[in-house]
Structure 1
Amino acid sequence: MNIIKKIKVLNKKIQEIKKNNKTIGLVATMGNLHYGHIKLILLAKKYSDVIIVSIFTNPTQFDSLIDYKKYPRTLKKDCTLLKKENVDIIFAPEEKDIYLSDKKIHTYVKVPSLSNILEGKSRPGHFIGVTTILCKLFNLIQPNFSFFGEKDYQQLLIVKTLIKELNYSIKIISAPTIRLKNGLAYSSRNKYLSSSEKKIAPFLYKIIKKTTDKIIQKKGENIKFILNASRKDLTKKGFIIDIFDVYNAKQLTKRSENDKNNILLASVWLGKTRLIDNKKIIF
Protein backbone atom coordinates (compact mmCIF):
# COMPACT_ATOMS: atom_id res chain seq x y z
CA MET A 1 0.00 0.00 0.00
CA ASN A 2 1.34 3.42 -0.99
CA ILE A 3 0.54 6.52 1.07
CA ILE A 4 0.91 9.52 -1.23
CA LYS A 5 0.73 13.10 0.01
CA LYS A 6 2.26 15.06 -2.85
CA ILE A 7 0.50 15.74 -6.16
CA LYS A 8 3.68 15.27 -8.23
CA VAL A 9 4.14 11.78 -6.78
CA LEU A 10 0.48 10.98 -7.44
CA ASN A 11 0.73 12.19 -11.05
CA LYS A 12 3.67 9.89 -11.70
CA LYS A 13 1.84 6.92 -10.17
CA ILE A 14 -1.35 7.57 -12.17
CA GLN A 15 0.66 7.72 -15.41
CA GLU A 16 2.22 4.37 -14.53
CA ILE A 17 -1.19 2.80 -13.85
CA LYS A 18 -2.65 4.14 -17.09
CA LYS A 19 0.38 2.96 -19.05
CA ASN A 20 -0.32 -0.57 -17.79
CA ASN A 21 -3.97 -0.27 -18.90
CA LYS A 22 -5.32 -0.84 -15.40
CA THR A 23 -8.67 0.55 -14.27
CA ILE A 24 -8.86 2.84 -11.25
CA GLY A 25 -11.58 2.89 -8.61
CA LEU A 26 -11.81 5.95 -6.37
CA VAL A 27 -13.42 6.11 -2.94
CA ALA A 28 -13.32 9.76 -1.87
CA THR A 29 -13.46 10.32 1.91
CA MET A 30 -12.78 12.94 4.55
CA GLY A 31 -11.21 10.32 6.80
CA ASN A 32 -12.47 9.05 10.16
CA LEU A 33 -13.42 5.88 8.31
CA HIS A 34 -16.19 3.48 9.32
CA TYR A 35 -17.82 0.30 8.03
CA GLY A 36 -19.79 2.21 5.40
CA HIS A 37 -16.51 3.23 3.78
CA ILE A 38 -15.25 -0.35 3.90
CA LYS A 39 -18.33 -1.55 2.03
CA LEU A 40 -17.59 1.00 -0.71
CA ILE A 41 -14.03 -0.32 -0.94
CA LEU A 42 -15.27 -3.90 -1.21
CA LEU A 43 -17.61 -2.79 -3.99
CA ALA A 44 -14.75 -0.97 -5.73
CA LYS A 45 -12.74 -4.20 -5.81
CA LYS A 46 -15.41 -5.80 -7.99
CA TYR A 47 -14.99 -3.13 -10.66
CA SER A 48 -11.39 -1.90 -10.52
CA ASP A 49 -7.82 -3.14 -10.83
CA VAL A 50 -6.39 -0.41 -8.60
CA ILE A 51 -8.21 1.00 -5.55
CA ILE A 52 -7.42 4.55 -4.48
CA VAL A 53 -8.89 6.03 -1.30
CA SER A 54 -8.54 9.77 -0.87
CA ILE A 55 -8.48 11.20 2.65
CA PHE A 56 -8.94 14.95 2.78
CA THR A 57 -10.99 16.92 5.28
CA ASN A 58 -12.30 19.49 2.83
CA PRO A 59 -12.69 22.93 4.46
CA THR A 60 -14.95 24.39 1.78
CA GLN A 61 -17.88 22.06 2.46
CA PHE A 62 -18.20 22.85 6.17
CA ASP A 63 -20.83 25.24 7.50
CA SER A 64 -18.43 26.82 9.97
CA LEU A 65 -14.77 26.94 10.91
CA ILE A 66 -15.67 25.40 14.29
CA ASP A 67 -17.22 22.32 12.64
CA TYR A 68 -14.20 22.00 10.35
CA LYS A 69 -11.71 22.14 13.21
CA LYS A 70 -13.57 19.62 15.37
CA TYR A 71 -13.99 17.04 12.59
CA PRO A 72 -12.03 13.94 13.74
CA ARG A 73 -8.66 13.49 12.02
CA THR A 74 -7.67 9.83 12.35
CA LEU A 75 -5.19 9.34 9.51
CA LYS A 76 -2.99 6.79 11.27
CA LYS A 77 -5.99 4.67 12.28
CA ASP A 78 -7.50 5.03 8.80
CA CYS A 79 -4.29 3.87 7.13
CA THR A 80 -4.13 0.81 9.38
CA LEU A 81 -7.73 -0.03 8.47
CA LEU A 82 -7.12 0.45 4.73
CA LYS A 83 -3.98 -1.67 4.81
CA LYS A 84 -6.06 -4.58 6.13
CA GLU A 85 -8.41 -4.11 3.16
CA ASN A 86 -5.48 -4.22 0.71
CA VAL A 87 -6.13 -0.77 -0.68
CA ASP A 88 -3.47 0.07 -3.27
CA ILE A 89 -3.07 3.82 -2.74
CA ILE A 90 -4.07 6.34 -0.10
CA PHE A 91 -4.01 9.91 -1.34
CA ALA A 92 -3.85 12.24 1.67
CA PRO A 93 -2.86 15.72 0.46
CA GLU A 94 -2.35 18.83 2.56
CA GLU A 95 -4.76 21.74 2.26
CA LYS A 96 -2.11 24.08 0.81
CA ASP A 97 -1.58 21.69 -2.11
CA ILE A 98 -5.29 21.45 -2.91
CA TYR A 99 -6.28 25.09 -2.47
CA LEU A 100 -3.45 27.05 -4.07
CA SER A 101 -5.06 30.46 -3.59
CA ASP A 102 -7.22 32.17 -0.99
CA LYS A 103 -10.39 30.05 -0.69
CA LYS A 104 -12.52 33.21 -0.88
CA ILE A 105 -11.36 33.89 -4.46
CA HIS A 106 -10.70 30.30 -5.51
CA THR A 107 -12.26 28.73 -8.62
CA TYR A 108 -15.37 26.74 -7.69
CA VAL A 109 -17.63 24.27 -9.50
CA LYS A 110 -21.39 24.35 -8.98
CA VAL A 111 -24.36 22.24 -10.07
CA PRO A 112 -27.06 24.96 -9.92
CA SER A 113 -30.08 22.73 -10.48
CA LEU A 114 -29.54 20.72 -7.30
CA SER A 115 -27.10 22.61 -5.06
CA ASN A 116 -29.39 25.33 -3.69
CA ILE A 117 -32.38 23.22 -2.61
CA LEU A 118 -33.06 21.05 0.45
CA GLU A 119 -29.71 20.36 2.14
CA GLY A 120 -28.13 23.05 -0.01
CA LYS A 121 -30.63 25.63 1.23
CA SER A 122 -29.94 24.71 4.85
CA ARG A 123 -26.19 24.60 4.32
CA PRO A 124 -25.27 27.36 1.84
CA GLY A 125 -22.09 26.63 -0.06
CA HIS A 126 -21.82 23.04 1.16
CA PHE A 127 -22.37 21.35 -2.18
CA ILE A 128 -20.15 23.83 -4.01
CA GLY A 129 -17.37 22.66 -1.72
CA VAL A 130 -18.24 19.04 -2.47
CA THR A 131 -18.34 19.40 -6.25
CA THR A 132 -15.16 21.47 -6.32
CA ILE A 133 -13.08 18.97 -4.36
CA LEU A 134 -14.49 16.08 -6.39
CA CYS A 135 -13.52 17.79 -9.65
CA LYS A 136 -10.00 18.24 -8.28
CA LEU A 137 -9.81 14.57 -7.29
CA PHE A 138 -11.27 13.40 -10.61
CA ASN A 139 -8.72 15.50 -12.51
CA LEU A 140 -5.79 14.27 -10.41
CA ILE A 141 -6.71 10.59 -10.08
CA GLN A 142 -8.52 10.05 -13.42
CA PRO A 143 -10.63 7.17 -12.09
CA ASN A 144 -12.68 4.88 -14.29
CA PHE A 145 -15.13 4.38 -11.44
CA SER A 146 -16.04 6.34 -8.32
CA PHE A 147 -18.12 4.98 -5.45
CA PHE A 148 -20.68 6.74 -3.23
CA GLY A 149 -23.17 5.72 -0.55
CA GLU A 150 -26.89 6.35 -1.00
CA LYS A 151 -27.32 7.87 2.46
CA ASP A 152 -26.19 11.23 1.04
CA TYR A 153 -28.80 10.99 -1.68
CA GLN A 154 -28.85 14.61 -2.79
CA GLN A 155 -25.06 14.55 -3.02
CA LEU A 156 -25.24 11.38 -5.13
CA LEU A 157 -27.58 13.05 -7.64
CA ILE A 158 -25.35 16.12 -7.74
CA VAL A 159 -22.29 13.98 -8.48
CA LYS A 160 -24.10 12.11 -11.27
CA THR A 161 -25.19 15.43 -12.79
CA LEU A 162 -21.66 16.80 -12.49
CA ILE A 163 -20.22 13.77 -14.31
CA LYS A 164 -22.77 14.04 -17.11
CA GLU A 165 -22.65 17.79 -17.66
CA LEU A 166 -18.85 18.15 -17.45
CA ASN A 167 -18.33 15.15 -19.75
CA TYR A 168 -16.23 13.08 -17.36
CA SER A 169 -15.61 9.51 -18.53
CA ILE A 170 -16.26 8.16 -15.05
CA LYS A 171 -18.93 5.69 -14.03
CA ILE A 172 -20.56 6.46 -10.69
CA ILE A 173 -21.47 3.36 -8.68
CA SER A 174 -23.73 3.77 -5.66
CA ALA A 175 -24.09 1.45 -2.68
CA PRO A 176 -27.11 1.05 -0.37
CA THR A 177 -26.90 2.72 3.03
CA ILE A 178 -25.04 0.59 5.58
CA ARG A 179 -26.68 0.48 8.99
CA LEU A 180 -25.98 -0.60 12.52
CA LYS A 181 -28.17 -3.41 13.87
CA ASN A 182 -30.46 -0.80 15.42
CA GLY A 183 -31.08 0.82 12.02
CA LEU A 184 -28.95 3.93 12.45
CA ALA A 185 -27.00 4.72 9.29
CA TYR A 186 -23.22 4.68 9.62
CA SER A 187 -21.82 8.20 9.66
CA SER A 188 -18.66 9.87 10.90
CA ARG A 189 -20.91 12.37 12.67
CA ASN A 190 -22.42 9.65 14.89
CA LYS A 191 -19.39 10.17 17.13
CA TYR A 192 -20.79 13.56 18.08
CA LEU A 193 -23.87 11.95 19.67
CA SER A 194 -24.00 11.72 23.46
CA SER A 195 -24.74 8.37 25.09
CA SER A 196 -28.40 9.34 25.60
CA GLU A 197 -28.70 10.63 22.01
CA LYS A 198 -27.31 7.35 20.66
CA LYS A 199 -30.34 5.62 22.16
CA ILE A 200 -32.72 8.04 20.45
CA ALA A 201 -31.00 8.28 17.04
CA PRO A 202 -32.16 4.86 15.70
CA PHE A 203 -35.79 6.04 15.89
CA LEU A 204 -35.13 8.25 12.86
CA TYR A 205 -34.96 5.31 10.46
CA LYS A 206 -37.69 3.40 12.30
CA ILE A 207 -40.06 6.31 11.75
CA ILE A 208 -38.90 6.71 8.14
CA LYS A 209 -39.61 3.04 7.45
CA LYS A 210 -42.97 3.18 9.19
CA THR A 211 -43.88 6.26 7.15
CA THR A 212 -42.87 4.83 3.77
CA ASP A 213 -44.67 1.56 4.51
CA LYS A 214 -47.88 3.49 5.20
CA ILE A 215 -47.50 5.62 2.06
CA ILE A 216 -46.99 2.53 -0.11
CA GLN A 217 -49.91 0.78 1.59
CA LYS A 218 -52.16 3.77 0.88
CA LYS A 219 -50.67 4.18 -2.65
CA GLY A 220 -49.87 7.81 -1.99
CA GLU A 221 -53.28 8.79 -0.64
CA ASN A 222 -53.50 10.91 2.53
CA ILE A 223 -49.75 11.48 2.25
CA LYS A 224 -49.87 14.85 4.03
CA PHE A 225 -51.65 13.30 7.00
CA ILE A 226 -49.13 10.44 7.19
CA LEU A 227 -46.16 12.83 7.00
CA ASN A 228 -47.59 15.18 9.63
CA ALA A 229 -48.15 12.28 12.03
CA SER A 230 -44.57 11.11 11.52
CA ARG A 231 -43.20 14.61 12.06
CA LYS A 232 -45.01 14.73 15.39
CA ASP A 233 -43.50 11.37 16.33
CA LEU A 234 -40.01 12.66 15.52
CA THR A 235 -40.54 15.82 17.53
CA LYS A 236 -41.76 13.82 20.53
CA LYS A 237 -38.56 11.76 20.40
CA GLY A 238 -36.46 14.91 20.58
CA PHE A 239 -35.55 15.49 16.92
CA ILE A 240 -35.62 18.99 15.43
CA ILE A 241 -36.80 18.64 11.83
CA ASP A 242 -35.24 20.46 8.92
CA ILE A 243 -36.41 18.20 6.09
CA PHE A 244 -38.95 15.40 6.23
CA ASP A 245 -40.90 15.07 3.02
CA VAL A 246 -41.41 13.04 -0.16
CA TYR A 247 -39.75 14.09 -3.41
CA ASN A 248 -39.37 12.91 -6.97
CA ALA A 249 -36.32 10.63 -6.81
CA LYS A 250 -34.75 11.97 -10.01
CA GLN A 251 -35.19 15.76 -9.77
CA LEU A 252 -35.84 16.19 -6.02
CA THR A 253 -38.90 18.27 -6.82
CA LYS A 254 -41.98 17.88 -4.63
CA ARG A 255 -43.82 14.71 -5.52
CA SER A 256 -46.74 15.01 -7.93
CA GLU A 257 -49.59 12.52 -8.26
CA ASN A 258 -48.05 11.05 -11.43
CA ASP A 259 -44.66 10.30 -9.86
CA LYS A 260 -44.01 6.59 -9.44
CA ASN A 261 -40.38 6.81 -8.34
CA ASN A 262 -40.17 8.78 -5.09
CA ILE A 263 -37.98 9.13 -2.05
CA LEU A 264 -38.54 10.27 1.52
CA LEU A 265 -35.69 12.55 2.54
CA ALA A 266 -34.99 13.31 6.18
CA SER A 267 -32.58 15.81 7.68
CA VAL A 268 -32.88 16.39 11.40
CA TRP A 269 -30.97 17.66 14.38
CA LEU A 270 -30.47 15.61 17.51
CA GLY A 271 -28.78 17.87 19.98
CA LYS A 272 -25.89 19.45 18.07
CA THR A 273 -25.64 16.61 15.54
CA ARG A 274 -27.20 16.70 12.09
CA LEU A 275 -28.49 13.33 10.88
CA ILE A 276 -29.62 12.57 7.34
CA ASP A 277 -31.33 9.50 5.93
CA ASN A 278 -33.77 8.45 3.25
CA LYS A 279 -35.86 5.63 1.82
CA LYS A 280 -37.14 5.02 -1.69
CA ILE A 281 -40.88 4.80 -2.30
CA ILE A 282 -41.86 3.01 -5.50
CA PHE A 283 -45.53 2.46 -6.26
Structure 2
Amino acid sequence: FDSYPRTLEKDSSLLAARNCDVLFAPNIFEVYPGGLKAESTVHVPDITKHHCGASREKHFDGVATIVTKLFNMVQPDQAIFGEKDFQQLMVIRKLTNDLCFPIEIVGVPTCREPSGLALSSRNGYLNEEEHLRASKLFAVLQQTKKALESNEDIVVARQQAISSLTENGFKLDYLNIASVDTLLPAKDADKEIVILAAVFLGATRLIDNIRVSLTD
Protein backbone atom coordinates (compact mmCIF):
# COMPACT_ATOMS: atom_id res chain seq x y z
CA PHE A 1 0.00 0.00 0.00
CA ASP A 2 2.76 2.42 0.93
CA SER A 3 4.63 1.74 -2.31
CA TYR A 4 1.61 2.23 -4.57
CA PRO A 5 2.14 5.13 -7.00
CA ARG A 6 0.42 8.37 -6.02
CA THR A 7 0.01 10.85 -8.87
CA LEU A 8 -2.57 13.29 -7.50
CA GLU A 9 -0.94 16.38 -9.01
CA LYS A 10 -0.75 14.81 -12.46
CA ASP A 11 -4.28 13.43 -12.18
CA SER A 12 -5.59 16.84 -11.09
CA SER A 13 -4.02 18.49 -14.13
CA LEU A 14 -5.54 15.91 -16.47
CA LEU A 15 -8.98 16.40 -14.93
CA ALA A 16 -8.67 20.19 -15.13
CA ALA A 17 -7.87 19.89 -18.83
CA ARG A 18 -11.13 17.95 -19.22
CA ASN A 19 -13.12 20.67 -17.42
CA CYS A 20 -13.84 18.52 -14.39
CA ASP A 21 -16.20 20.33 -12.00
CA VAL A 22 -15.25 18.63 -8.73
CA LEU A 23 -12.35 16.46 -7.57
CA PHE A 24 -12.94 14.52 -4.35
CA ALA A 25 -9.56 13.50 -2.90
CA PRO A 26 -9.96 12.79 0.83
CA ASN A 27 -6.97 12.09 3.04
CA ILE A 28 -6.56 8.82 4.90
CA PHE A 29 -7.95 10.24 8.16
CA GLU A 30 -11.22 11.21 6.46
CA VAL A 31 -11.65 7.73 5.01
CA TYR A 32 -10.32 5.75 8.00
CA PRO A 33 -11.01 7.94 11.06
CA GLY A 34 -10.47 5.03 13.43
CA GLY A 35 -7.36 3.72 11.71
CA LEU A 36 -7.08 0.80 9.32
CA LYS A 37 -7.11 -1.91 11.98
CA ALA A 38 -10.17 -0.51 13.76
CA GLU A 39 -12.40 -0.54 10.68
CA SER A 40 -15.16 -2.96 9.74
CA THR A 41 -14.50 -4.66 6.42
CA VAL A 42 -16.59 -5.78 3.45
CA HIS A 43 -16.05 -9.27 2.02
CA VAL A 44 -17.30 -10.34 -1.41
CA PRO A 45 -17.40 -14.16 -1.50
CA ASP A 46 -16.53 -16.69 -4.20
CA ILE A 47 -15.45 -14.40 -7.05
CA THR A 48 -12.49 -13.18 -4.99
CA LYS A 49 -10.99 -16.63 -4.35
CA HIS A 50 -9.07 -17.04 -7.57
CA HIS A 51 -6.60 -15.12 -9.74
CA CYS A 52 -5.41 -12.04 -7.82
CA GLY A 53 -7.29 -13.24 -4.75
CA ALA A 54 -5.33 -16.50 -4.64
CA SER A 55 -1.94 -14.83 -4.26
CA ARG A 56 -2.94 -11.63 -2.45
CA GLU A 57 -4.77 -12.57 0.74
CA LYS A 58 -7.51 -10.12 1.76
CA HIS A 59 -6.66 -7.83 -1.18
CA PHE A 60 -10.26 -7.74 -2.36
CA ASP A 61 -11.56 -7.19 1.18
CA GLY A 62 -9.60 -3.94 1.08
CA VAL A 63 -10.94 -3.09 -2.38
CA ALA A 64 -14.54 -3.85 -1.40
CA THR A 65 -14.26 -1.85 1.83
CA ILE A 66 -12.76 1.28 0.28
CA VAL A 67 -15.20 1.22 -2.65
CA THR A 68 -18.13 0.83 -0.24
CA LYS A 69 -16.84 3.80 1.75
CA LEU A 70 -16.43 5.84 -1.43
CA PHE A 71 -19.96 5.01 -2.58
CA ASN A 72 -21.41 5.98 0.80
CA MET A 73 -19.44 9.25 0.95
CA VAL A 74 -20.10 10.36 -2.63
CA GLN A 75 -23.42 8.63 -3.40
CA PRO A 76 -22.85 8.63 -7.17
CA ASP A 77 -25.36 7.68 -9.84
CA GLN A 78 -22.64 6.12 -11.96
CA ALA A 79 -19.14 4.80 -11.26
CA ILE A 80 -16.57 4.04 -13.94
CA PHE A 81 -13.85 1.39 -13.63
CA GLY A 82 -11.27 0.21 -16.13
CA GLU A 83 -11.43 -3.27 -17.62
CA LYS A 84 -7.67 -3.71 -17.16
CA ASP A 85 -8.35 -5.09 -13.69
CA PHE A 86 -11.19 -7.28 -14.89
CA GLN A 87 -11.56 -9.25 -11.67
CA GLN A 88 -11.81 -6.04 -9.66
CA LEU A 89 -14.53 -4.78 -12.01
CA MET A 90 -16.51 -8.00 -11.53
CA VAL A 91 -16.06 -7.83 -7.75
CA ILE A 92 -17.40 -4.27 -7.69
CA ARG A 93 -20.37 -5.23 -9.85
CA LYS A 94 -21.23 -8.07 -7.47
CA LEU A 95 -20.72 -5.82 -4.45
CA THR A 96 -23.02 -3.18 -5.92
CA ASN A 97 -25.71 -5.73 -6.72
CA ASP A 98 -25.48 -7.63 -3.42
CA LEU A 99 -25.61 -4.48 -1.27
CA CYS A 100 -28.34 -2.84 -3.39
CA PHE A 101 -26.38 0.29 -4.24
CA PRO A 102 -28.43 2.34 -6.75
CA ILE A 103 -25.34 2.88 -8.87
CA GLU A 104 -24.61 2.02 -12.49
CA ILE A 105 -21.18 0.38 -12.79
CA VAL A 106 -19.56 1.11 -16.15
CA GLY A 107 -16.51 -0.77 -17.41
CA VAL A 108 -14.28 1.06 -19.88
CA PRO A 109 -11.76 -0.51 -22.28
CA THR A 110 -8.10 -0.61 -21.36
CA CYS A 111 -5.99 2.26 -22.70
CA ARG A 112 -2.74 1.06 -24.26
CA GLU A 113 0.55 2.34 -25.53
CA PRO A 114 1.22 1.82 -29.28
CA SER A 115 3.17 -1.30 -28.28
CA GLY A 116 0.07 -2.80 -26.67
CA LEU A 117 1.26 -2.32 -23.09
CA ALA A 118 -1.67 -1.42 -20.84
CA LEU A 119 -1.33 2.04 -19.32
CA SER A 120 -0.65 1.93 -15.59
CA SER A 121 1.00 4.11 -12.98
CA ARG A 122 3.11 1.05 -12.17
CA ASN A 123 4.78 1.31 -15.58
CA GLY A 124 6.83 4.15 -14.13
CA TYR A 125 8.71 1.59 -12.05
CA LEU A 126 9.98 -0.22 -15.17
CA ASN A 127 13.45 0.54 -16.46
CA GLU A 128 13.97 1.06 -20.20
CA GLU A 129 14.68 -2.60 -20.97
CA GLU A 130 11.76 -3.81 -18.85
CA HIS A 131 9.42 -1.31 -20.48
CA LEU A 132 10.25 -2.67 -23.92
CA ARG A 133 9.83 -6.25 -22.73
CA ALA A 134 6.53 -5.53 -20.97
CA SER A 135 4.64 -5.22 -24.27
CA LYS A 136 5.15 -8.97 -24.75
CA LEU A 137 2.50 -9.60 -22.10
CA PHE A 138 -0.35 -8.38 -24.27
CA ALA A 139 1.21 -10.06 -27.33
CA VAL A 140 1.02 -13.41 -25.52
CA LEU A 141 -2.60 -12.77 -24.57
CA GLN A 142 -3.41 -11.99 -28.21
CA GLN A 143 -1.70 -15.20 -29.34
CA THR A 144 -3.67 -17.20 -26.80
CA LYS A 145 -6.92 -15.62 -27.95
CA LYS A 146 -6.16 -16.61 -31.55
CA ALA A 147 -5.35 -20.15 -30.43
CA LEU A 148 -8.69 -20.47 -28.64
CA GLU A 149 -10.54 -19.02 -31.63
CA SER A 150 -8.84 -21.71 -33.73
CA ASN A 151 -10.30 -24.37 -31.41
CA GLU A 152 -7.13 -25.05 -29.47
CA ASP A 153 -7.71 -27.02 -26.27
CA ILE A 154 -8.02 -24.69 -23.27
CA VAL A 155 -5.45 -26.57 -21.19
CA VAL A 156 -2.97 -26.64 -24.07
CA ALA A 157 -3.50 -22.95 -24.89
CA ARG A 158 -2.93 -22.00 -21.25
CA GLN A 159 0.27 -24.01 -20.99
CA GLN A 160 1.60 -22.53 -24.23
CA ALA A 161 0.90 -19.03 -22.90
CA ILE A 162 2.69 -19.76 -19.62
CA SER A 163 5.70 -21.06 -21.54
CA SER A 164 5.76 -17.97 -23.77
CA LEU A 165 5.66 -15.62 -20.79
CA THR A 166 8.48 -17.47 -19.07
CA GLU A 167 10.57 -17.47 -22.26
CA ASN A 168 10.10 -13.69 -22.52
CA GLY A 169 11.52 -13.10 -19.06
CA PHE A 170 8.34 -12.73 -17.00
CA LYS A 171 7.98 -14.24 -13.55
CA LEU A 172 4.48 -15.69 -13.45
CA ASP A 173 1.96 -14.96 -10.73
CA TYR A 174 -0.83 -16.55 -12.74
CA LEU A 175 -2.25 -16.98 -16.21
CA ASN A 176 -5.79 -18.32 -16.18
CA ILE A 177 -8.53 -18.83 -18.73
CA ALA A 178 -11.91 -18.27 -17.13
CA SER A 179 -15.61 -17.87 -17.78
CA VAL A 180 -16.52 -14.18 -18.02
CA ASP A 181 -19.63 -14.65 -15.88
CA THR A 182 -18.14 -16.59 -12.96
CA LEU A 183 -14.36 -16.17 -13.32
CA LEU A 184 -14.13 -19.91 -12.67
CA PRO A 185 -11.88 -22.01 -14.96
CA ALA A 186 -13.32 -22.02 -18.46
CA LYS A 187 -14.93 -25.17 -19.81
CA ASP A 188 -15.30 -26.28 -23.40
CA ALA A 189 -18.97 -25.25 -23.35
CA ASP A 190 -18.18 -21.65 -22.36
CA LYS A 191 -18.56 -19.13 -25.17
CA GLU A 192 -17.57 -15.93 -23.35
CA ILE A 193 -14.07 -16.28 -21.94
CA VAL A 194 -11.47 -14.00 -20.42
CA ILE A 195 -7.74 -14.67 -20.31
CA LEU A 196 -6.29 -13.12 -17.15
CA ALA A 197 -2.61 -12.68 -16.34
CA ALA A 198 -0.44 -11.24 -13.60
CA VAL A 199 3.34 -11.24 -13.97
CA PHE A 200 6.44 -9.64 -12.54
CA LEU A 201 9.17 -7.82 -14.42
CA GLY A 202 11.85 -7.20 -11.85
CA ALA A 203 9.98 -5.92 -8.80
CA THR A 204 7.05 -4.55 -10.80
CA ARG A 205 3.77 -6.46 -10.93
CA LEU A 206 1.77 -6.10 -14.14
CA ILE A 207 -1.76 -7.31 -14.89
CA ASP A 208 -3.70 -7.55 -18.12
CA ASN A 209 -6.49 -9.52 -19.75
CA ILE A 210 -8.25 -10.11 -23.04
CA ARG A 211 -11.81 -11.19 -23.82
CA VAL A 212 -12.59 -14.07 -26.18
CA SER A 213 -15.97 -14.76 -27.79
CA LEU A 214 -16.22 -18.27 -29.20
CA THR A 215 -18.76 -19.52 -31.71
CA ASP A 216 -19.85 -23.05 -32.57
Tell me the TM-score normalized by structure 1: 0.73
Supply the AA of the counterpart residue of 1:279.
Answer: I
Q: Unpaired runs of 5+ in structure 2?
A: none
Supply the AA of the counterpart residue of 2:43.
Answer: K
Q: Which of 225, 234, 254 is the aligned partner of 2:156?
A: 225
- The structural deviation recorded for 1:134 is 0.8
Deviations 1:223-255 (A, max 9, x none): 322222221111111001111121111111111
Does structure 1 conserve the Cα–Cα contact (< 8 Å) formed by 2:175 and 2:198?
yes
- Alignment of 1:247 with 2:165, yes or no, is no
% identical aligned pairs: 39
Distance 1:97 1:241 in 2: 37
- Alignment of 1:216 with 2:149, yes or no, is yes
| Stretch deviating more after TM superposition (221-230 or 255-264) | 221-230
User: What residue is the counterpart of 2:62 in the other structure?
Assistant: 129
Distance 2:157 2:184 in 1: 19
User: What residue is the counterpart of 1:187 in the other structure?
Assistant: 120
- Alignment of 1:82 with 2:12, yes or no, is no
Deviations 1:32-55 (A, max 9, x none): xxxxxxxxxxxxxxxxxxxxxxxx
Deviations 1:173-218 (A, max 9, x none): 1111111000000111111111110010000000110111011112
Where in structure 2 are the equivalents of 1:259-274 lying within 5 Å?
Answer: 259-274=190-205
Distance 1:152 1:163 in 2: 17
Distance 2:54 2:69 in 1: 24
The structure with the larger Rg is 1
User: What residue is the counterpart of 2:77 in the other structure?
Assistant: 144
SS at match of 1:280: strand
User: What residue is the counterpart of 1:158 in the other structure?
Assistant: 91
Q: Which of 77, 83, 92 is the aligned partner of 2:25?
A: 92
Structure 1 residues 229 and 73: alpha-carbon distance in aligned structure 2, compared to 1, 3 A threshold: closer
Structure 1 residues 72 and 275: alpha-carbon distance in aligned structure 2, compared to 1, 3 A threshold: closer
SS at match of 2:106: strand
- The structural deviation recorded for 1:90 is 0.7
Distance 2:47 2:146 in 1: 27
Does structure 1 conserve the Cα–Cα contact (< 8 Å) formed by 2:137 and 2:165?
yes
Supply the AA of the counterpart residue of 1:280.
Answer: R
Distance 1:260 1:123 in 2: 29
- Alignment of 1:275 with 2:206, yes or no, is yes
User: What residue is the counterpart of 1:234 in the other structure?
Assistant: 165
- The structural deviation recorded for 1:140 is 1.1
Q: Unpaired runs of 5+ in structure 1?
A: 1-61, 63-67
User: What residue is the counterpart of 1:120 in the other structure?
Assistant: 53
Deviations 1:75-102 (A, max 9, x none): 2332222111111111111111110113
Distance 1:245 1:121 in 2: 12
Distance 2:194 2:17 in 1: 36
Deviations 1:142-193 (A, max 9, x none): 1110001111000000000001000000001111111100000011111111
Where in structure 2 are the equivalents of 1:201-212 lying within 5 Å?
Answer: 201-212=134-145
- The structural deviation recorded for 1:141 is 0.9
Runs of 4+ deviating beyond 4 Å: none
Count matched residues: 214
- The structural deviation recorded for 1:71 is 2.8
Q: Which of 104, 112, 117 is the aligned partner of 2:37?
A: 104
- The structural deviation recorded for 1:115 is 2.1
SS at match of 1:115: coil
Supply the AA of the counterpart residue of 1:267.
Answer: A
Structure 1 residues 76 and 177: alpha-carbon distance in aligned structure 2, compared to 1, 3 A threshold: closer
SS at match of 1:156: helix
